[in-house]
Amino acid sequence: MKQKPLTKYSVLLLLLMLCSLTSCTSCKSPKPISENKKAFIGMWVSQTGFKMNIKPSGTADLTQNINSSNPDDSKLNIGVTPEYSKDMLVKFRGDTILIISQPTVRAREYHIDKNPYQDGDTCKMILNGVLLIRQK
């Protein structure tokens, strides 16, 4: 049986598949939090109990209120993840977006309304309009 030669379309499709596979390997490994974003490191908690633990390694653990009807939880929860998600990737896009993701599975972009700031003896930040307080 004689095989057909590869067409231009088949070669292009093969190249696209290879590029997508190789480019995804870099998006799966965490990058340490940069010096100018170190203020984001720590355990952040909302009044409703949502928790985001951002680690220096560039990963985060989330504890979500997945069955909550509180509007603040819907602004913070990733939605399709279990109540507790570990070692999700942390990325920043400029100075206004924080991205928490598990590549190819789930992700959430948070608008940084207010960078971490000191209020008395408490460190706070506002993401998607929701106040988060860093735990000591």
Q: What is the pLDDT of residue 102?
A: 85
pLDDT at position 17, please?
A: 53
- What pTM was computed for the model? 0.77
Q: Which pLDDT band, with edges at 50, 70 and 90, does 107 fall under?
A: confident
Mapped onto helix, strand or coil, the DSSP state of residue 23 is: helix
- Read off φ and ψ for residue 90, nearest 5 degrees: -115, 130
Name which of 33, 47, 70, 41 is nearest 133 in CA terms: 47
Residue 30: other Cβ atoms inside 10 A: 16
